[in-house]
């Protein structure tokens, strides 16, 4: 996880797509959990809350993401 991810959309991108040419956190979680397991907890909490909000309110993930960032 990059300590430079200061917005929720950036965190989302890092989790799903990776940033600055790096692998996504999701990929890393599935393939190399030992060296970063501690850093992913906070990010995972945000990601799961966004997905839950999207599901509960029948929103696209990107819409729920925008709402979360606006509330931040």
Is there a domain that residue 12 lies in?
Answer: yes
The pLDDT value recorded for residue 63 is 95
Task: Please tell me the total count of domains within the chain.
Answer: 1
Tens digit of pLDDT for each residue in 2-19?
666 678 888 888 888 888
pTM of the model: 0.53
Is there a domain that residue 2 lies in?
Answer: no
Where in the sequence is the domain holding 46, given as residue range(s)? Answer: 8-71
Q: Are 1 and 36 in contact (CB under 8 A)?
A: yes
Backbone angles phi, psi at 19, to 5 degrees: -135, 155
Q: Report residue 37's pLDDT band, with 50, 70 and 90 as the boundaries.
A: low
Tens digit of pLDDT for each residue in 44-69?
888 899 999 999 999 999 999 999 99
Is there a domain that residue 3 lies in?
Answer: no
Is there a domain that residue 1 lies in?
Answer: no
The CA-based dihedral angle spanning residues 29, 32, 36, 37, taken in that order and rounded to the nearest 10 degrees: 60
Is there a domain that residue 54 lies in?
Answer: yes
The pLDDT value recorded for residue 22 is 82
């Amino acid at each position: 996880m990059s300590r430079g991810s200061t917005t929720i959309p950036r965190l989302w991108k890092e989790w799903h797509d990776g940033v600055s040419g790096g692998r996504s956190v999701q990929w890393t979680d599935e393939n190399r959990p030992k060296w970063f397991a501690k850093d992913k907890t906070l990010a995972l909490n945000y990601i799961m809350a966004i997905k839950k909000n999207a599901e509960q309110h029948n929103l696209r993930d990107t819409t729920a993401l925008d709402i979360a960032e606006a509330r931040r």
